[in-house]
Amino acid sequence: MTMPPVAKRFSRYLTVGLGMNGALYLMFLFLIWLRMAPIVASALCYAIGVMGSYLLNRRWTFSSSGTHMEDIAKYLTAYGLGLLVTLVSMMFFVGPLGPAVAQVLTIGFTAIVIYGALEVLKFGQ
C-alpha cells in the first residue's frame, strides 16, 4: 500500500523537524544555561533551524525540481510567518510555563503553521 503524496511529505517533514528541533532544543537549553534571554535564544535557534532544514526539506521532503530562487522565496515566506508565531508564542508562554516548556509548545505550533504555509505556497512544486 502506497502512502498518498501529502502523507509522505508530512511524514518526511516530521522526521526532518524532529531531528533538527531536537538538536536545536538542546542548543536552546544550553544558551539559557549561559543566561541568554529566552526570546533571543529562541530566535537564534530558529534562524539556525531555517538554514539547516531548507536543504533537507527541499531535497528530501518535497523533492523539489524548482530553482533555488523560486524555492527560497517560498521557504522564507513560510518561515517568516513561523518566526512571528515563534516570537508571539514565546512571549505568551515563557512567563507562566518557563522557557523549557514554552519552547516545546512553540516548536509544535510553529511546525504546524510552517508546514501549512509550505503546502499553500506549493513549495518545491
pLDDT digits (tens, 9 = 90+) for 79-121: 899 989 999 999 999 999 998 899 889 988 998 999 999 999 9
Asked whether residue 67 is domain-assigned, the answer is yes
Asked whether residue 26 is domain-assigned, the answer is yes
Number of domains in the chain: 1
Asked whether residue 48 is domain-assigned, the answer is yes
Write out pLDDT tens, residues 10-28: 999 999 999 998 999 999 9
Question: Is the pTM here over 0.85, yes or no?
Answer: no
How far is Cα 4 from Cα 43, in angstroms, rounded to an integer?
34
Asked whether residue 114 is domain-assigned, the answer is yes
Asked whether residue 11 is domain-assigned, the answer is yes
The pLDDT confidence band at residue 45, using thresholds 50, 70 and 90, is very high
How far is Cα 50 from Cα 82, in angstroms, rounded to an integer?
10
Q: Where are the alpha helices (DSSP H) in 34-98?
A: 38-56, 68-97
Range of the domain at 34: 5-120
Q: What is the DSSP letter of 27?
A: H
Asked whether residue 125 is domain-assigned, the answer is no
How far is Cα 102 from Cα 105, in angstroms, rounded to an integer?
5
The reported pLDDT for the residue numbered 33 is 96
